Chains A and B, each alone.
Chain A
């Protein structure tokens, strides 16, 4: 069997399990049964996809398959090439580990029949999007994926916030599909060639390409969380059960990135140089705004969702660089930038899944998502704390973990940009490079906050004090991801070489072979320019830390005395005196927030003798929500209010309305021809 048919059968079987789950979901064994099956199937699909990527013979090698389902004159086209193989590996690896995690996590689910049928369907939907080779199949699978994830978002529908999140999500998802539909309509042209092969072959006029890019940025951007279409994401992703949040944030956003790459790099033909400007600018703004929102947030899962927006911004910055280089025929630099983007796709799927799993473990152990009510968990959940810490370091782009490598590659790509001929790009690229660095620094601040407030310090509530360590399934899924975060950071050359078929097929060039370089360094261009060796950095740190610790303990003192913390002679043992998430973010809020969120702190101190308590109020505004979405909501409400009168007319008025409409339509027709 070919890899493509294995992948398609896995998707079909996942769908079959989904139907089966509808009937058996209420039985006691169902959770274990369904998640074990979806674990096995995603594992098989992952193996098939990874194998296909590794053994890709030629860069443009692809296997295709047409099934006689879907539109009668079109059928359903499926195709497996390097790009889809890479994304399928990401999707199925995420599916596999979240099934493993759910084997433990799902036991605490009080409404399994609302989760079990949709979970395998969701994974199948993501698989089918990545396999689709015609617009109809793509859009059907895309919509299926959206609906399955929507059902998971409103799994706990008794919570008003979740219902609202679900509503917002489905509106935004419909909007995204609409724009994608229009984009594919433009690509297919007047002849209606909806299969990707003829779109790839067709010539696209500059105006069409520009429109397609705009529609695509709206369509895939609304799913991935590009500013200003990100508003649903921090509401919807946390509403789902944690293993689904991990899939949505870690994997589904990547499927959106896949859609963007597939169309812009593959179907659309040669890009215009200004494509890069648009994508770079949106990516840079998304990255900084996303992480600033995350810093202001104290709800653990919502914070992680905002940080997803940041990472999507980072990915799109690299994609924008790749577009700019590709448009100017700088193949090597484009390959470097695209590799950085894909590497970050992989990295983000690792550490974001890990962090959402960790948040789920904390939620199970304490029943709390609000970091202000946690604290001190490092004592009660030591193993979870270690793996969560790995995720925090990795996502903060710090060596020797994986997040740093993709960030480093992106910086190396930025440094290639003076050779670009266009002034717009020349001036924009260093500024975006600065934004990227700012986002990385803010991310480090954000994850110091997350780990410090949640796991360190003293417990702030009774539930945090009584937390219990996560069970074996949860820990094994998280440890696997933590290990991979380190492995991809220490041996980046392996990943870069694995990505070579993708860049070869999309750009026609690849980065130099990395695994041949002595000591497993990575060298994007030449060694005199830049190189990085994660393995040696890791070993050096490990070696010098242990050597120092040994020497200090051998020749210095090794005695320890426990004593109360220093309190300036003013003992208040209340844990509420600790720094909280919002007080930790206060300096950064003062620096960036006054401009971006219109943040205002107000302290009211009553006059002496007045017995009222002093009050601190914080006022913040989300300008995108208030400036863009609320007016639209208002306009829709206003229009609905006005149109409402039409429901209460007499029959004569209805008849005259019908007549008027008919005349108008005929007039339009007459004028048209």
Chain B
């Protein structure tokens, strides 16, 4: 029991400690691909610490919700990230929430983020919030259909069970899983406000979504929001890794060596995911906001197709 709790606590700290590193790595990879030097991968930690030490400047008519939201957003994202098997399956609290509930937790975080964007009453916040919820209305149903597909393949919505099934030889090559993977990557890109849906590097452009919502934030509040955003990126990469490349995931009660191997594999997976993301982002251009529904509509259709294939035939 104690060791199980320790593993769960370790998982919880690992995700939050690694998240800024992942963001830093993606930035570094992107910079190198653009032939720039780029900042050190630990730059996000420095930024966070600096932000935490600064005083927070709050707009005059901001309400309590504006101040409470960063903590709620961070907490919901953190809980969601802590429930995804990163280096070990069968975590002690893994039955608290299945994949549907984890995605819904991210929905709760987004709900408060969008509200916080509207709290100050400027057009920037409003434009960001309204676009964010528009993207969410397409991304969430796509995600659900992907979950349907996975749940039908593995017979479970529990992440540990799905991961265990995916490592077993029963999986084989399936069309529906391949389609679901593509759809999941598209959703992950949209959810994390990456190119081509949104650009995390811009600050004052009207094409932006996420950065417009958090424009009024500063100091420790901004730090919380930034950390939550990094955590969400880590969450999605871990999710894809756990579902589609669940190699070397340590089982419950395996020895310390298995945990170490699992951890090393996880770090490698994260780095590979970050590198692929950077490569993809440098190779594409940001699209107009009203092209995003087409992009996500494609994800939705792929998700539906994958789910239907599963309903039609068990072999596909």
Q: Is the CB of A583 within 8 A of B126?
A: yes
Q: Is the CB of A452 within 8 A of B114?
A: yes
Q: Which residues of B contact A185 (CB under 8 A)?
A: none
Q: Which residues of B contact A438 (CB under 8 A)?
A: 137, 140-141
Q: Is the CB of A375 within 8 A of B121?
A: yes
Q: Is the CB of A418 within 8 A of B310?
A: yes
Contact flags (1/0) for A441-458 with B, using CB distance below 8 Å? 110110111011100111
Q: Is the CB of A434 within 8 A of B79?
A: no
CB-nearest residue of chain A to B124: A566
Contact flags (1/0) for A522-533 with B, using CB distance below 8 Å? 000001111111
A130 contacts chain B at the CB level, 8 A cutoff: no
Cβ 8 A contact of A444, one of B133, B143, B289, B304: B133
If A408-B101, A536-B96 touch, whether A528 touches B161 (CB-CB below 8 Å) is yes
Q: Which of A399, A417, A585 has most B Cβ within 10 Å?
A: A399
Cβ 8 A contact of A448, one of B114, B140, B141, B204: B114
If A376-B61, A537-B79 touch, whether A415 touches B151 (CB-CB below 8 Å) is yes
A612 contacts chain B at the CB level, 8 A cutoff: no
Interface size classification for chain B: 35 or more
Q: Is the CB of B161 within 8 A of A437?
A: no
Complex CA gap A531/B52 in Å reads: 37
Least CB distance from A416 to B in Å reads 10
CB proximity to A under 8 Å, residues B11-63 = 52-61, 63
Cβ 8 A contact of A429, one of B121, B124, B311: B311
Least CB distance from B142 to A in Å reads 8
Complex CA gap A532/B155 in Å reads: 16
Q: Which residues of B contact A531 (CB under 8 A)?
A: 95-96, 98, 158
B100 contacts chain A at the CB level, 8 A cutoff: yes
CB-nearest residue of chain A to B137: A441
Q: Which residues of A contact B118 (CB under 8 A)?
A: 448, 452-453, 456-457, 579, 584
In terms of DSSP, what is the predominant structure of the interface of chain A? helix
Q: Which residues of A contact B75 (CB under 8 A)?
A: 540-542, 544-545, 548
Q: Which residues of A contact B124 (CB under 8 A)?
A: 566
Least CB distance from A207 to B in Å reads 30
Stretch of A311-319, A557-565, A643-651 contacting B (4+ beta carbons < 8 Å)? A557-565
Complex CA gap A559/B310 in Å reads: 55
CB-nearest residue of chain B to A556: B52
Q: Which residues of A contact B76 (CB under 8 A)?
A: 541
Least CB distance from B201 to A in Å reads 19
Least CB distance from A318 to B in Å reads 15
Q: Is the CB of B126 within 8 A of A549?
A: no
Q: Which of B60, B96, B124, B215 has most A Cβ within 10 Å?
A: B96
Q: Is the CB of B121 within 8 A of A533?
A: no
Q: Which residues of A contact B300 (CB under 8 A)?
A: 434
Q: Which residues of B contact A528 (CB under 8 A)?
A: 156, 158, 161
CB-nearest residue of chain B to A392: B111
Q: Is the CB of A561 within 8 A of B58?
A: yes
CB proximity to A under 8 Å, residues B123-154 = 123-127, 129-131, 133-134, 136-141, 143-145, 148, 151-152
CB proximity to B under 8 Å, residues A40-85 = none
In terms of DSSP, what is the predominant structure of the interface of chain B? helix
CB-nearest residue of chain A to B309: A430
Q: Which residues of A contact B140 (CB under 8 A)?
A: 437-438, 440-441, 444
Q: Is the CB of B134 within 8 A of A541?
A: no
B122 contacts chain A at the CB level, 8 A cutoff: yes
A604 contacts chain B at the CB level, 8 A cutoff: no
B224 contacts chain A at the CB level, 8 A cutoff: yes
Least CB distance from A501 to B in Å reads 27
B267 contacts chain A at the CB level, 8 A cutoff: no
B261 contacts chain A at the CB level, 8 A cutoff: no
If A448-B129, A456-B121 touch, whether A430 touches B308 (CB-CB below 8 Å) is yes
Least CB distance from B309 to A in Å reads 10
Complex CA gap A412/B151 in Å reads: 10
Stretch of A24-32, A586-594, A624-632 contacting B (4+ beta carbons < 8 Å)? A586-594
Complex CA gap A93/B120 in Å reads: 38
Q: Which residues of B contact A452 (CB under 8 A)?
A: 114-115, 117-119, 126, 129
Cβ 8 A contact of A530, one of B105, B114, B158, B220: B158
If A418-B152, A430-B145 touch, whether A456 touches B293 (CB-CB below 8 Å) is no
Q: Which residues of A contact B308 (CB under 8 A)?
A: 427, 430-431
Q: Which residues of B contact A559 (CB under 8 A)?
A: 55-56
Q: Is the CB of B55 within 8 A of A378?
A: no
15 A-B residue contacts at CB 8 Å?
A379-B63, A393-B108, A398-B111, A418-B311, A434-B141, A437-B145, A444-B137, A457-B121, A541-B79, A542-B75, A545-B74, A552-B224, A563-B58, A584-B130, A588-B133
A-B pairs, 3 with minimum CB distance: A579-B126, A457-B121, A452-B118
Extra A-B contacts (13), CB below 8 Å, given A441-B140, A556-B52, A561-B58: A378-B119, A385-B63, A441-B107, A441-B138, A448-B118, A453-B118, A456-B118, A530-B100, A552-B224, A557-B56, A563-B57, A565-B121, A577-B122
